[in-house]
Structure 1
């Protein structure tokens, strides 16, 4: 096993900067996810770590070994791609044994490792089948098994679940996480799916335009976003945003929102300023509760109710701003009802509308 350190790593394709000064350290045995939209640089970063691409600048270090210029086979890694890339003429057992044979691992030990991985991934009864006889989910599990049986120092996964249907994706991600913990292998996972990142990761690295935006534990990134992009990218539905005018009054921040005044603790601010200023006020839908208009500082009119099982999302118009709150689906308001919105003031996030940084 190994730590992975990216030291000021950059990658450019001609004038296009795909990665800019990427600095992070992944701990031994840690599961870290690179998360972001298409084109943010996350797959490029993984390709550089794997040795499939050479960085334009900076270093990649596994443990105390500089691997920046080493070829993939010299790095002791295993990688799973979005495409299964199985050998069609080989059985599941032979596909999983192939990498071990290349490493000249003994037959008995190779068989033991394959059987163990097959049990964890529920592939035991499929070992003598060929890929054409398997479902898409089974093929992807074979690809995962083929990678992990090699006992790599670093396990890399580039959106390995994106071709699976929703229910199989949930089951497979659970199997991947359990297997990674049992093996104690250092793992880097690439996805654009923030729910996958939240569920799987010890830490999440949120990327945008080749730049690392925030690195932290899943709930820290969710509750304490560093900027507007992270706040709106993490969480589904996205964080509600409202234009506000702020005024500091002792230990209280007064926020004027669409003609309605909210009182917030000064602790919600992260930077020093005096007087009044413009801001974007963010509150997650799960932190907005529906209440009687007389009991709330914010009031608006209901225009949509979306039951999703254990709760319902309620879409509310406040002077042209569309917000989502939550409520018990059995007590949901009716369309056109005027309702109040209650929230925990400490959960409010404030952002500078120009720099998009957290205030």
Structure 2
């Protein structure tokens, strides 16, 4: 097991910076997810940690030792890929054993390691099968088993669940998290799926265009997004945004949304932003659909006309037009308003976010 430090990690392809000055420190045993849309640099950063990509600048340290120039086999890492990368002519047993035999371990030790991995990942009945005889979820468990059986210092996973169907993704991510907890390996997981990141991670590092936007525990990133990009990327359905005029009156922040004036406590913004708000300024107000409840008495209310109701089982989403824009909220299925009816949404002031429209930073 090892701590990992990325110190101003940079990877440049011609004039394009795939990774630009990435600074991240992982303590030993942490599960970190690099999260972001396609092309944000997350897989390139993972490749640099693995030694598959050579950084253009910066350094990578394992337990304080600089490994930037070391080859992958010198780093004691294991990697799980998106496409499984199993040997089709080998049995599950031999696929798992392959890396151990490359290390020239004796067969008794290899056997014990295979049995331990098979037990953890429920592969015992599959050891003599070939990959073609396995489902997608089973193949991915074999790929994970082949990686962890070597007891790597760092386990790297590049979108390993993206080829699985929805139910298998949920099951497999649970197995990956449980396994990582049991063996205590430092893990770096790459995905564009914010739900996977929220469920699996000790911390989430959100990336955009090669740059780190925010890093922190999943619920901290969800509840206190650092900027508009993080606020819009994290959370499903996406956050509602309103362009508002703000001002400070009688010790509260006034925000005008269409014809509605909302009153927010000053604690929803940083103290250094209050001066600008006092003089009046434009801002972008954000409220998550899951924090905007239909037919509920809350600190803030917004009224609109329903144009769509989306039942998804335990809850229903209600889409309404408010101030000329579409807004999504939440309701109990049995209390869903009819299409064309008026709806009143309620939100807690503590769940409202304000952002600067120019810098996109959280106020």
* Structure 1 segment 239-278 matched on structure 2, within 5 A: 239-270=239-270, 271-272=273-274, 273=276, 274-278=278-282
Please report how far the alpha carbon of residue 295 of structure 1 lies from its aligned counterpart in structure 2 after TM superposition.
9.8
Partner-residue secondary structure (3-state), 1:297: strand
Q: Distance in 2 between matches of 1:335 and 1:294?
A: 23
* Structure 1 segment 26-45 matched on structure 2, within 5 A: 26-45=26-45
Partner of 1:209: 209
Residue number among 344, 347, 351 corresponding to 2:351 in the alignment:
347
Change (3 A) 1:12 1:64: same
| Cα RMSD for the two superposed structures | 1.4
Moved more, 179-188 or 113-122: 113-122
TM, length-normalised to structure 2: 0.97
**How many pairs are equivalent?**
359
Q: In structure 2, list runs of 5 or more residues that go unmatched.
A: none
Q: In structure 1, list runs of 5 or more residues that go unmatched.
A: none
| Cα deviation digits, residues 109-148 of structure 1 (max 9, x gap) | 2211211111221111000111111112111111110000
Q: Distance in 2 between matches of 1:231 and 1:316?
A: 21
Please report how far the alpha carbon of residue 160 of structure 1 lies from its aligned counterpart in structure 2 after TM superposition.
0.5
Contact 1:82/1:163, CA 8 A, preserved across alignment: yes
Change (3 A) 1:133 1:255: same
Q: Distance in 1 between matches of 2:188 and 2:27?
A: 11
Partner of 1:113: 113
Q: Distance in 2 between matches of 1:293 and 1:108?
A: 66
| Cα deviation digits, residues 164-209 of structure 1 (max 9, x gap) | 0110111001111111110000000000000000000000000000
Q: Distance in 1 between matches of 2:58 and 2:198?
A: 29
Are 1:196 and 2:196 matched, yes or no? yes
Are 1:316 and 2:346 matched, yes or no? no
Contact 1:301/1:316, CA 8 A, preserved across alignment: yes
TM, length-normalised to structure 1: 0.98
Partner of 1:67: 67
Please report how far the alpha carbon of residue 297 of structure 1 lies from its aligned counterpart in structure 2 after TM superposition.
3.3
Moved more, 109-118 or 54-63: 109-118
Partner-residue secondary structure (3-state), 1:146: helix
